[in-house]
Every structure is written in C-alpha cells, then in structure tokens.
Amino acid sequence: MIVPSEISFRLTLWNMTPEQRLDRLERIAGLMVRAGLRARRHGREQDEKINMIIDAQMKSDKRFHAQIRERDEKFDAQMHERDERFGVLEGKVIEAQIRNEERFAKLAQTQTELTESHVATNRRLETLIEIVIEQRNGGAH
C-alpha cells in the first residue's frame, strides 16, 4: 500500500532535473558521512572511557595486591616474632619442669627417709614401752 507522502516523494523525484537529483544525492551522502564520523567519534570516546575504567581498575588491583602483600609480610613478621617468643617460653617451661622434677625427686627421697625414721622411732618407742612395762611388772612382783 502506497502512502500519500510516498506518492508526493515519487512525484517530486520524477519532476527533478538530473542536476537536482545529483545535489540531493550529494546532500544525503554528506549527511551519511557526518553521521559516520559522529559515530566513529562517539565510538572513540567510548573506547577512551573504557580504557580509563580499565586503567583505574588496574591501578586499584595493584594497590589491592600491594596492601595484601604488605599485610602478609606483617603477618609473617608477627608470626616469626611469636614463634621466637614461644621458643623462649617453651625453653623456660621445660627448664621449670626439670627443676620441678628434681624437687619432686628430692621430696620423694625426703618422704622415704621420714617414713623410715618414723618406723625406727616407733620400734624404739615400742621397745621403751616394753622396758617400762617390764620394770613395773618386775618391780611389783
């Protein structure tokens, strides 16, 4: 179906001289070239914006990785320091355990000697009691 504006366009086109047609074609070509240039310029601007975003992201990644590396180094240094302190403390604990073992051994020896002394004292006391009883009994007979 042909629209009335299309009929008007076709009649106008038939009524144009070849010179007018060529001028019209040149104007249309010029408009197309300008639209193409505008599209290319817009594309380049978009490319520049994308490149700016990529650059910003790359800088951010570098800073982020540097921060992570710095934190890792601090953590490693802290762990090394703690390991050293733990080693010193572990040595002190081991020394204290050895001293305690020596003290416990001495205490056990002293307790054994005390028990033996107690047993000997009890024997002597029993002997003394027997002597006293015998003297009382002998003296009463």
What pLDDT shows up at residue 138? 78
- The predicted-structure confidence for 102-126, as pLDDT tens digits, reads as follows 999 999 999 999 999 999 999 999 9
Q: What are phi and psi of 105, to 5 degrees?
A: -65, -45
Residue ranges per domain, the chain? 15-140
Cβ(16)–Cβ(24) below 8 Å: yes
Question: From first to last of its 141 residues, what are the pLDDT tens digits of the chain?
Answer: 565 666 666 667 678 888 988 998 999 999 999 999 999 999 999 999 999 999 999 999 999 999 999 999 999 999 999 999 898 899 999 999 999 999 999 999 999 999 999 999 999 999 999 999 999 887 655
What pLDDT shows up at residue 1? 57
Q: In the structure encoding, which two tokens stand for residue 57, read together?
A: 């992201």
Distance between CA 39 and CA 42 in Å, rounded?
Answer: 5
Residue type, 141: H
What pLDDT shows up at residue 78? 95
